Structures are given as C-alpha cells and as structure tokens.
C-alpha cells in the first residue's frame, strides 16, 4: 500500500491521575529522521519509543511531541531526618558552651536547616508508565499511518494518470515514426527530380539513403523500454512498503529514454511529444519525492 511521507497523528489518553498526549507530524526526507520532544521524566523511554515508531515508519523527517501530566505529583510526602536534626542541635549546644552564649535555637529555626525536612515524590511504577506511553505512541502512529495512506492513494492516482498520458505520447511517437521515413523518401525523390530532371536514379541508392535515415531516427528500442518502465512503475505503485526509492530509479530510467528520443528526433511533432514526455516525467519525479 502506497504511503505519502507527509502525515499527522495524535493520541490523548486521560486517566484519573494522569494524562499523556502524543502528536506526530512528518515531511519529506531521504532517510528516517525522528526527533522526539518530551518531559525529562519520560526521557529514559526514548529508545523504546524509537523502536515502536520503526514498526510504523520507513522514511521521512518525523517530529514527535509528548506531553505528560501527573496529577499525583501534588501528593508529595515530607521526610524528617531526625539524625541530621540531632547532629545540628548537638553542634549548636557545643557552640553555646564553648562561647558561653545562650542556645536560643527554636524548633522552627532548626527545621529550616538543610535536609532536616525534604520533599519526596512517590515512587514511579516504570512498567505501568511505559505501558501508558507505548499505548499512546502506537495509537498516534496508527493515526499517522492512516493519513499517510490516504495521501498516498491520492499520489498513486495522480501518478497513474500521468503514466497513462505518457503512454499516449509513446503511441503517437511509434505511429509517427514510419510516416517520417515515408515523408523523407518523398522529399528525397522530389529533390532528385528537381535537380536532375528526368534523369533516373538507381532505386538501390535511394533505398540505401532512406535506410540510413530510418536507422538514424529509429526510436523503437527507446519506446519499447519506455513502455516497460511505465508498466513497471504502475506495478510498483501496488507494492506494500517503501517503494519511493525504487520509483525514483524507474523515473530516472524513463527520463534517459525520453532524452534519447529527443536527441534522435528529426521531426517537430516528435520533438514536441518528447518534450511533453520529459515534462510529465519531471512531474512524476516531484510526486515520487513525497512517497515513503
């Protein structure tokens, strides 16, 4: 199934105590380039997220945006370090006795000493959190692929229409080629008659001249190969995955044949059709750049 490299996907999962949102968007790129922006708390899941995405994406520049809200973060417990508080107080008593001054320390003051009280977050269940992240990423990626497939179908139909137009141009060139030879023979005969009058010229000489001309402008091999490339591209459009590079190569080969036809053309109509062929091939190549 043909896929475009452009696409968008989104998933939001909201639970009682948390919510995660994953958004994906992509543009054309020669390789698979994935950029992930997410909270620091989820950073240790990056490798796993990339592995999940590789199941859905072959090529393209993909930007992933992940937001995470944990409503349990307000349920932070206060931890009292009694050993440290005792150590502070003991040393304050030593200072009081050493300098003969009153120890006026109060509980409120002692509590503000470093690390006497600390805020401690609840332990995160990594497996449970990863299950949530993985679910959201897979759902967003599935949505993302759907948009790629829909756009890919549009690209496919457009390319097929252009390929059918190319076949019509090839058919015209094939039908026109014998006419060019016949017209050349008539022009040659008229020129000989004009120059030599009633003097007869050996038919073998004329045949040789016409044969050389016909061989010079013959594009039978090019049109046969061009037809083959067109049919090959049509078949490849029905392949399952990652056909962009293959289609691009076929387009290059089609362009090569069109160039040869144009270089051999000795007729205005054939020249115009060959130019039209190159124009259509270039349009197809532009569309192929959007295919995964």
- Does some domain include residue 166? yes
pLDDT at res. 266: 76
77-80 and 60-70 strand pairing: unpaired
Q: What CATH code is carried by the domain that includes residue 254? A: 1.20.140
**Domains in the chain, number:** 3
Q: Say whether both 219 and 264 belong to one domain.
A: yes
195 Cβ partners below 8 Å, 6+ apart? none
Q: Say whether both 39 and 129 belong to one domain.
A: yes
pLDDT at res. 141: 94
- Does some domain include residue 1? no
- Does some domain include residue 16? yes
Q: Domain span at residue 99?
A: 77-120
Smallest CA-to-CA distance from 172 within 227, 215, 214 is with 227
Q: Say whether both 163 and 57 belong to one domain.
A: no
Q: Say whether both 35 and 139 belong to one domain.
A: yes
Between the CA of residue 164 and those of 123, 161, 170, 208, 272, what are the distances in Å? 63, 5, 10, 37, 17
Residue range 144-198, pLDDT digits in tens: 999 999 998 999 999 999 999 999 999 988 887 766 656 656 665 666 555 555 5
**Consecutive H or E run containing 68:** strand 60-70
Q: Say whether both 176 and 284 belong to one domain.
A: yes
- For residue 279, the Cα-to-chain-centroid distance in whole angstroms is 24
Q: In this structure, how many other beta carbons lie within 10 angstroms of the beta carbon of residue 256?
A: 15
Q: Are 273 and 226 in contact (CB under 8 A)?
A: no
Structure tokens, 59: 């090529």
pLDDT at res. 212: 59
Kindly report whether the global pTM for this prediction surpasses the value 0.85: no
pLDDT at res. 226: 92
pLDDT in tens, the chain (292 residues): 788 888 999 999 998 888 999 999 998 888 889 999 999 889 889 999 999 998 898 888 999 999 998 876 555 677 888 998 899 889 988 988 888 888 888 888 888 888 888 876 666 678 888 999 999 999 999 999 999 999 989 999 999 999 999 999 999 888 877 666 566 566 656 665 555 555 565 666 566 665 655 556 577 778 889 999 999 999 988 876 678 888 999 999 999 999 988 877 777 888 888 899 999 999 999 999 888 8
Diameter over CA atoms, the chain: 145
Q: Say whether both 271 and 176 belong to one domain.
A: yes
Structure tokens, 244: 């962009």
- Does some domain include residue 190? yes
Q: Say whether both 87 and 130 belong to one domain.
A: no
pLDDT at res. 215: 55
- Does some domain include residue 136? yes
Q: Say whether both 89 and 142 belong to one domain.
A: no
Q: Are 265 and 271 in contact (CB under 8 A)?
A: yes
- Does some domain include residue 2? no
- Does some domain include residue 213? yes
Q: Say whether both 113 and 206 belong to one domain.
A: no
- Does some domain include residue 142? yes
DSSP state of 238: T
pLDDT at res. 78: 77
Q: Say whether both 68 and 194 belong to one domain.
A: no
Q: Say whether both 140 and 179 belong to one domain.
A: no
Using left for φ > 0, alpha for ψ between -120 and 50, and beta otherwise, residue 261 falls in alpha
Q: Say whether both 41 and 64 belong to one domain.
A: yes
pLDDT at res. 31: 84
């Amino acid at each position: 199934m043909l896929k475009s490299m452009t696409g968008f996907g989104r998933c939001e999962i909201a639970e009682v105590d948390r919510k995660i949102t994953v958004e994906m968007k992509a543009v054309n790129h020669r390789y698979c380039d994935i950029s992930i922006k997410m909270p620091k708390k989820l950073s240790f899941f990056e490798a796993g997220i990339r592995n999940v995405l590789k199941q859905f994406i072959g090529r393209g520049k993909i930007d992933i945006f992940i937001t995470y809200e944990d409503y349990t973060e307000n349920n932070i417990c206060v931890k009292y370090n009694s050993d440290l508080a005792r150590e502070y107080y003991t040393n304050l008593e030593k200072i009081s006795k050493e300098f003969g001054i009153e120890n006026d320390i109060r509980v409120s003051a002692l509590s503000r000493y470093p690390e006497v009280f600390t805020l401690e977050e609840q332990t995160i269940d990594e497996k449970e959190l990863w299950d949530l992240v993985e679910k959201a990423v897979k759902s967003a990626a599935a949505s993302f692929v759907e948009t790629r497939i829909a756009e890919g179908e549009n690209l496919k139909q457009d390319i097929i229409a252009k390929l059918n137009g190319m076949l019509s141009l090839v058919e015209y060139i094939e039908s026109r080629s014998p006419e060019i030879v016949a017209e050349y023979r008539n022009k040659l005969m008229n020129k000989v008659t004009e120059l030599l009058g009633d003097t007869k010229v050996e038919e073998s000489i004329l045949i040789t001249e016409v044969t050389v001309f016909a061989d010079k402008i013959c594009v039978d091999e090019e049109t046969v190969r061009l037809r083959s490339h067109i049919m090959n591209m049509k078949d490849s459009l029905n392949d399952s995955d990652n056909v962009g590079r293959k289609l691009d190569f076929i387009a290059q080969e089609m362009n090569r044949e069109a160039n040869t036809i144009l270089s051999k053309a000795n007729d205005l109509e054939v020249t115009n059709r060959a130019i039209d062929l190159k124009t259509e091939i270039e349009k197809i190549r532009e569309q192929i750049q959007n295919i995964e």
